[in-house]
Amino acid sequence: MTAIADYNTTTGQWMLVIHRVTATSAEVWVGTLFPTLKMPLHAQVELVLPDGSTRIHPIVKADWQRPFRKVNQRFYVLCRFDGLQPATRYRVIFSRRIEAIPCLIEEAWQPLRSGCFDTLPTRIPEKGCKPFTIGLGSCFYNHRDGGQAAAAYRTLYERGPDDVRPDITVLAGDQVYLDIGFDSLSLLNTEIRQRIADDYALHWQALGSIFGCGGTWMLPDDHEYWNDYPFYDGLIPALLALKLARVRSTWTASASDGVKNIQRSPLVETFSIGNDLSLCFADLRSHRSKHQFISQEGFTQLVSWARSLQSPGVLVIPQLLIDEEDKTERNLLSFSRQYRELLQALAHTGNDIVVLSGDVHFGRIARVNLGNNGGRLIEVVSSPMSNLTGLNGIATAEAKSSPDFFPDPRTIRIPQWVPAKVTYDKSFQVKSKPGFLLSAYPKARTREHFMTVSFSRLSTGEIELSVNAWRIRERCNPDNLPANDFEQPFRIVLRKV
Q: What is the pLDDT of residue 322?
A: 98
Nearby residues of 465 by Cβ (< 8 Å), 6 or more positions away: 354, 378, 453, 454, 455, 490, 491, 492, 493, 494
Q: What is the pLDDT of residue 2?
A: 52
Rounded to the nearest 5°, which phi and psi values hold at 408? -60, 110
The H or E element spanning position 427 is strand 423-429
Tell me the pairing of strands 449-457 and 432-433.
Answer: unpaired
Q: What is the pLDDT of residue 101?
A: 77
Local confidence band at 1 (pLDDT 50, 70, 90 cut-offs): very low
pLDDT at 443 over 90: yes
Q: Which range, 84-98, 177-191, 230-244, has the best average confidence (pLDDT)?
A: 84-98
Q: Where are the beta strands (DSSP E) in 122-250?
A: 132-137, 168-171, 215-218
Mean pLDDT confidence for 241-262: 96
CATH of 15-117, one of 3.20.20.70, 2.60.40.10, 3.90.1150.10, 3.10.150.10: 2.60.40.10
CA 427 vs CA 212, 252, 270: distances in Å: 32, 41, 32
Mean pLDDT confidence for 332-347: 98
CA 234 vs CA 122, 242, 248, 333: distances in Å: 47, 10, 14, 18
Bigger pLDDT: 98 vs 431: 431
**Collapsed DSSP state (helix, strand, coil) of residue 205:** helix
**Tens digits of residue pLDDT in 366-408:** 999 999 999 999 999 999 999 999 989 999 999 999 999 999 9
Residues of the chain with CATH 3.60.21.70: 122-494
| Nearest partner of 403 among 483, 333, 317, 298, judged by Cα | 333
Residues of the chain with CATH 2.60.40.10: 15-117
* Mean of per-residue pLDDT scores for the chain: 95
Least confident of 296-300, 317-321, 346-350, 395-399: 395-399
**Tens digits of residue pLDDT in 25-68:** 999 999 999 999 999 999 999 999 999 999 999 999 999 999 99
CATH of 122-494, one of 3.20.20.450, 3.30.360.10, 3.60.21.70, 3.20.20.80: 3.60.21.70
Q: Where are the beta strands (DSSP E) in 165-312?
A: 168-171, 215-218, 268-273, 277-282
| Total residues found in the chain within this entry | 497
pTM of the model: 0.96
